[in-house]
Amino acid sequence: MAMLEVKDLQVYYGVIQALKGISFHVNQGEVIALIGANGAGKTTTLQTLTGILSPKSGSIVFEGKDLTRTPAHKIVEMGMAHVPEGRRVFAQLSVLENLKLGAYTRKDKTEIEESLKRVYKSFPRLEERKNQLAGTLSGGEQQMLAMGRALMSKPRIVLMDEPSMGLSPIFVEEIFNIIKEISAEGTTVLLVEQNAKKALSIADRAYVLETGKIVLEGDAKDLLNDESIKKAYLGE
């Protein structure tokens, strides 16, 4: 059984239909890429999965439990973390305070310290800057902080929305290496990306979203070599 199973999801903004009955699944341990142009419905999909938006119809089943009417904070407790688009760190708080906020659903202090050590191991730069205000970090460092904060909830699946957006090539490289690392440690990843080439190069499988519909799905390696994908998304 899939870890996450989405069936016939329909989401509206007022009268405008943003998702037109999409279905997809994520198996445990996979890295899944959701690619598509701006406005295709990628962010809407993640926001619906994490309880920020409510679907009009369809189902979202995570580890056997239906999430469609579950509040967002409960979804985090169930083991799903969301790294939103645009980094969204608490600018007036320190790096360490931001990270600790990521663990707000957890009670065990020793375990939280363990998670903090693990995050610092993946993101040594955050440890160096732990007392610095998050708002003074560079874009790439803020992205690392947003990812580290999500990992502090000890999730079984992480949903990442455009982690490479607006970052310099060197940071993009680093962010994708960290995603590979997170996956290698056993966390499942659902990745939404406009940088299709990069996303497909680290994903196991991928879905292509166009104006609220999934138009193509398959092995990430196959999609990288698919002529229509090359033309539309890879600029080849």
> Distance between CA 155 and CA 166 in Å, rounded?
26
* Domain interval for residue 92: 4-233
Q: Is 114 left (phi over 0), alpha (psi -120 to 50) or beta?
A: alpha
Q: How many domains does the chain have?
A: 1
Confidence at residue 236, expressed as pLDDT on a 0 to 100 scale: 64
User: What length is written for the chain?
Assistant: 236
Predicted TM-score of the model (pTM): 0.91
Sign of CA dihedral 67, 70, 71, 76: negative
Other Cβ atoms closer than 10 A to 109 = 9
Confidence at residue 177, expressed as pLDDT on a 0 to 100 scale: 93
> Distance between CA 93 and CA 95 in Å, rounded?
7
Residues 76-119 pLDDT 10s: 889 999 998 877 899 999 999 999 999 987 888 888 999 999 99
Report residue 68 as tokens: 């469609």
Confidence at residue 130, expressed as pLDDT on a 0 to 100 scale: 96
Confidence at residue 218, expressed as pLDDT on a 0 to 100 scale: 96
Question: Looking at residue 84, which CATH number applies to its domain?
Answer: 3.40.50.300
Residues 27-45 pLDDT 10s: 999 999 999 988 899 999 9
Q: Which residues of the chain have pLDDT under 70?
A: 236
**19 with 212: CB under 8 angstroms?**
yes
Confidence at residue 157, expressed as pLDDT on a 0 to 100 scale: 97
Question: Which phi and psi (to 5°) does residue 227 adopt?
Answer: -60, -45
Write the CA distances from 95 to 74, 149, 157, 188, integer angstroms: 25, 9, 23, 25
**191 with 198: CB under 8 angstroms?**
no
